Chain A
């Protein structure tokens, strides 16, 4: 009897080793693009560390840090064009900022300001998704629309390893496969879904191999190697644009921080594991070493770059903190295109109360 078994897991696709030396063909990218990706990573890390601090100081609310995942995000976003659809989870701020999301918006979101969920009007990003895996289906729909309308654009959804356990993940891959939708499913496998390690999330050896069951292509790349991520994503996006259908990309990476600022990873995570990733596999260090070996990056540039990033983040913090206060009537205005009579009565009631309250203060 023939039985089906999972393939032997394929090796991780890598371009750079931990020391930043090429172990595979280096993508043909102009110097300024390489440097631009590096800058994106530095800015992202600076932003993330600052946001964590702001949360500890009570200046923003719950925040989901992404440090450690910069290569997975910047490497994949670097392939996208402005007209491509992006359906992120809550952990893609590095990529979104690189793609044009103003940093103060990201901060406003964590401040609980309604405008924090707004994306640039000339973009096709969705607001961050809180429900795990729901956005995969939206990406399928958007990609499908692109195909129906004869657009060149593709749709990408971002999600974690935990999301691959949800029904929506499986429904999305299946639907996209059946209709050969130009969509990329980009999984940042960061090892953990809150406290559950990926080994307890699924028994298949890799996320990427799950593609096989749906009749689509799967790719597994080193998520801490920005060039490997770039190559993997490029293949997936090119296939989608060429009408070859969906691809599942697994970027193997690691979340260095807590799941969110409300989480305490010391309860479930081994210090040694964290140390290994932090000290030996930092995606920013690896890429910097590569740039240095290429002779296109110096210590001097390194210093100025981190300073510049700090300044940019400082400015974003100022912009976020001096942003006009949320208008209470926001809640009513965006429920329907045309406010219903019920809602407009409720809004008036609310306004009256809000102004009375202000008067009392």
Chain B
């Protein structure tokens, strides 16, 4: 099968979505002529025209707010926020408007939009370009939050998001855009939103990650196996809302031990939600306290010190050993 990078897979998904449905449109800052600052929309405007791939003025609230109106009136917008850190500008339109229009109108209206945004660290960006803010949106009922970690899922989840009847926030880990290639089917396929994937099966410890920390978790699992002989089951959450509790519980019932890895700051992070669910549903299976390996409770630090801040393979290996040896 063909291999491609995550950014190519995302590009291909948007192209297929635009081809398959006249109502689909792409809008955002620099997505047209420039093809997006990461080239996610490269060539799409030339192919589909400026009405379907739209360079908007520099206004995030306008982009998302207009997308809500477009969607309500029958279009299927894919809006881009250039970097997740700038989504605060559109917070009301996402959390206060798009996410609750179905509820507010008693099911009369809905906002089937996709909001794409790159995020995540380890790439030496200026301030606010690397922040992981998924927890803000897990806390927003009415919104789905998708975070792919490989090219195949990236395409399948984006196609599922475009067809989804509700607003979907689709978060793209910057570091993984071009980090590796993976097999991506040519045809239209959808990876269901709300289902986690067992990336590596194992017996002793469940390591739960999503987005940029999945490769970190995988490397850590391998080295924990080599160094200590711990057999780790690595689970890629893939979407954090809705969250696939079932897969997590099934794994923990087998292993009894849990490490959660995410880049976002620790307090109130998605890891806390994962731990709470496991405490509620699998408490008696737990053989050790759950451990979180996360960003620290500070703003994302400047590039010169970010490597020491991010959850590293070392930190995850240590955590695995700690819960395994408990």
Per-residue CB proximity of A339-357 to B under 8 Å, as 1/0? 0101100110010011001
The reply to whether the CB of B299 lies closer than 8 angstroms to some CB of chain A is: yes
Per-residue CB proximity of A319-361 to B under 8 Å, as 1/0? 0000001111011100100001011001100100110010000
Please determine whether A326 and B34 come into contact, CB atoms closer than 8 angstroms.
no
* CB within 8 Å for A332 and B33 given contacts A114-B302, A132-B58: no
Task: Identify B35's interface contact among A61, A262, A267, A350, CB under 8 A.
Answer: A267
List chain A residues, Cβ under 8 A from B80. none
The reply to whether the CB of B134 lies closer than 8 angstroms to some CB of chain A is: no
Closest to A168 in B: B89
Task: Identify B126's interface contact among A114, A130, A195, A327, CB under 8 A.
Answer: A130
* Assembled-state Cα–Cα distance A263/B55 (Å): 16
| Min C-beta distance of B321 to chain A, whole Å | 15
- The A-B contact count (CB < 8 A) is 118
**Stretch of A149-157, A158-166, A286-294 with 4 or more beta carbons under 8 angstroms from chain B:** A158-166
**Stretch of A1-9, A27-35, A196-204 with 4 or more beta carbons under 8 angstroms from chain B:** A196-204
List chain A residues, Cβ under 8 A from B127. 130
Q: Which of B35, B58, B267, B301 has the most CB of A within 10 A?
A: B58
List chain B residues, Cβ under 8 A from A111. 303-304
Please determine whether A114 and B35 come into contact, CB atoms closer than 8 angstroms.
no
List chain B residues, Cβ under 8 A from A131. 85-86, 88-89, 128
Query: Is the interface on chain A under 10, 10 to 19, 20 to 34, or 35 or more residues?
Result: 35 or more
Per-residue CB proximity of B283-304 to A under 8 Å, as 1/0? 0000000000000111101111
Please determine whether B55 and A166 come into contact, CB atoms closer than 8 angstroms.
no
List chain B residues, Cβ under 8 A from A166. 58-60, 89
List chain B residues, Cβ under 8 A from A114. 301-302, 304-305
* CB within 8 Å for A112 and B33 given contacts A130-B127, A132-B58, A202-B57: no
The reply to whether the CB of B263 lies closer than 8 angstroms to some CB of chain A is: no
* Assembled-state Cα–Cα distance A201/B55 (Å): 9
The reply to whether the CB of B203 lies closer than 8 angstroms to some CB of chain A is: no
Please determine whether B124 and A61 come into contact, CB atoms closer than 8 angstroms.
yes
Please report which residues of chain B, range 78-97, place their CB below 8 angstroms from some CB of chain A when the two chains form the complex: 85-86, 88-89
Closest to A335 in B: B298
Please determine whether B296 and A196 come into contact, CB atoms closer than 8 angstroms.
no
The reply to whether the CB of B37 lies closer than 8 angstroms to some CB of chain A is: yes
The reply to whether the CB of B225 lies closer than 8 angstroms to some CB of chain A is: no
| Min C-beta distance of A329 to chain B, whole Å | 9
| Min C-beta distance of A194 to chain B, whole Å | 5
* Assembled-state Cα–Cα distance A115/B315 (Å): 27
Please determine whether B296 and A332 come into contact, CB atoms closer than 8 angstroms.
yes
* Assembled-state Cα–Cα distance A350/B306 (Å): 12
Could you list 15 examples of A-B contacts with CB < 8 Å? A62-B126, A90-B126, A112-B305, A114-B301, A130-B126, A131-B89, A132-B58, A132-B86, A162-B57, A196-B29, A196-B30, A326-B305, A340-B297, A347-B296, A354-B308
What 16 additional pairs, Cβ within 8 angstroms, besides A112-B304, A343-B298? Answer: A61-B303, A90-B126, A111-B303, A112-B303, A112-B306, A131-B85, A163-B58, A165-B58, A165-B62, A167-B59, A195-B30, A201-B58, A326-B305, A335-B299, A350-B296, A353-B314
Which 7 pairs, one residue from A and one from B, show the smallest C-beta to C-beta distance?
Answer: A112-B303, A195-B34, A165-B57, A162-B58, A326-B304, A112-B304, A331-B301
Interface residues of A (CB under 8 A from B): 61-62, 90, 111-114, 116-117, 130-132, 162-163, 165-168, 193-196, 200-202, 262-263, 267-268, 325-328, 330-332, 335, 340, 342-343, 346-347, 350, 353-354, 357
